[in-house]
Amino acid sequence: MTVVLDTRDDFHLANFRRVCYGGEAVRLGEQARRALTAPGWGRAAPGEASAASAGAVHAAAPGDSGSAGSGGGYLDEALVRGILFARLAGCVSGHTAVRLTAAERVAALLGGPAPRVPSGGPAGPDEAAVMAAALAGMRRDDLSEAEQRALDEPAPCPAALAADTALRSRHRLESAQAVCALSIEAFGAPLGAYDEALDDLWGDAYEAAALRALRHHLDGARTDGRRFHQAPVSYRIIPRVLGQAHRAVAAVEKAAGTALRAVTGDVLVAGRVLPNGGFHNGMAYPGMNALSAAWADLALVAERQVSALNTAETSGLPLNLAIPAVPTGTYGYGWAASGYVEEARAAAAPALLPAAVCDPRSDVLSPAFSAHRRERRAAECLDGVLAILVIVSSQALFVTGRSPAGPLRPLLSFARSVFPPIDGTGVRDLSADARSLQQALAAAAVTGLLVPAPRP
Condensed to tens digits (0 to 9), the pLDDT of residues 93-136 reads 888 889 999 999 999 999 999 999 988 766 567 888 899 999 99
Residues 403 and 409: beta-carbon distance below 8 Å: yes
Where is the domain boundary, 152, 186, 201?
A: 152
**145 and 189 inside one domain:** no
Q: 136-172 burial, b if ≥16 CB within 10 A, otherwise e?
A: bbbbeeebbebbebbbbbbbbbbbbbbbbbbbbbbbb
CA triplet 241, 246, 247: central angle to 5 degrees? 95
Residues 397 and 443: beta-carbon distance below 8 Å: no
Residue 386: what residue type? L
**146 and 215 inside one domain:** no
The answer to whether position 406 is within a domain reads yes
pLDDT of 62 strictly over 50: no
The pLDDT score that the predictor gives to residue 455 is 58
Distance of CA 381 to the CA centre of its chain: 13
Other CB atoms within 10 A of residue 436 CB: 19
Report the alpha-carbon distance of residue 416 to residue 35 in Å, rounded.
Answer: 56
Position with higher pLDDT, 53 vs 241: 241
What average pLDDT score do residues 356-377 get?
A: 88
The pLDDT score that the predictor gives to residue 121 is 63
Task: Please count the structural domains in the chain.
Answer: 2
The answer to whether position 402 is within a domain reads yes
Residues 198 and 210: beta-carbon distance below 8 Å: no
Which CATH number fits the domain that encloses residue 292? 1.20.200.10
Where is the domain boundary, 126, 152, 178?
A: 152
Residues 156 and 87: beta-carbon distance below 8 Å: yes
The pLDDT score that the predictor gives to residue 454 is 62
User: Could you tell me the residue range of the domain that residue 134 belongs to?
Assistant: 2-152
What average pLDDT score do residues 54-75 get?
A: 42
pLDDT of 372 strictly over 90: yes
**339 and 251 inside one domain:** yes
Phi, psi of 425 (to 5 degrees): -100, 145
The pLDDT score that the predictor gives to residue 271 is 74
Element (H, E) at 235: helix 233-236
Among residues 184, 262, 265, 257, the alpha carbon closest in space to that of 227 is found at 184
pLDDT of 260 strictly over 50: yes
**119 and 173 inside one domain:** no
**141 and 174 inside one domain:** no
The answer to whether position 71 is within a domain reads yes
Residue 396: what residue type? A
The answer to whether position 454 is within a domain reads no
Tell me which range, 72-86, 121-135, 217-231, 242-256, is most confidently predicted by mean pLDDT.
242-256
Among residues 252, 232, 365, 201, the alpha carbon closest in space to that of 307 is found at 232
Where is the domain boundary, 95, 121, 152?
A: 152
Name the percent of the chain lying above pLDDT 70. 91
The pLDDT score that the predictor gives to residue 229 is 85
**71 and 140 inside one domain:** yes
The answer to whether position 109 is within a domain reads yes
User: 9-59, pLDDT tens digit by residue?
Assistant: 999 999 999 999 999 999 999 999 999 988 765 443 333 333 333 333 333
User: Which pTM was predicted?
Assistant: 0.90
Position with higher pLDDT, 74 vs 218: 218
Position with higher pLDDT, 145 vs 407: 407
Strands (E), 189-314: 267-269, 272-274
**Confidence band for 319, pLDDT divided at 50, 70 and 90:** very high
SS3 content of the chain, % helix, strand, coil (to 5): 55, 5, 40
Position with higher pLDDT, 3 vs 56: 3
Report the alpha-carbon distance of residue 218 to residue 441 in Å, rounded.
Answer: 20
The answer to whether position 453 is within a domain reads no
74-83, 142-151, 287-296: lowest mean pLDDT where? 142-151
**148 and 283 inside one domain:** no
Those residues whose C-beta lies under 8 Å from the C-beta of residue 355, and which sit 6 or more positions away, are: none
The answer to whether position 12 is within a domain reads yes
The pLDDT score that the predictor gives to residue 61 is 30
Position with higher pLDDT, 96 vs 168: 168
The pLDDT score that the predictor gives to residue 49 is 35
The answer to whether position 452 is within a domain reads no
**139 and 255 inside one domain:** no
**119 and 196 inside one domain:** no
The pLDDT score that the predictor gives to residue 355 is 87
Which CATH number fits the domain that encloses residue 101? 1.10.275
**386 and 283 inside one domain:** yes
The pLDDT score that the predictor gives to residue 6 is 96
The pLDDT score that the predictor gives to residue 123 is 57
The pLDDT score that the predictor gives to residue 39 is 75
Residues 248 and 291: beta-carbon distance below 8 Å: yes
Rg of the Cα atoms in the chain = 25
Position with higher pLDDT, 341 vs 67: 341
Residues 37 and 49: beta-carbon distance below 8 Å: yes
**207 and 336 inside one domain:** yes
**84 and 174 inside one domain:** no
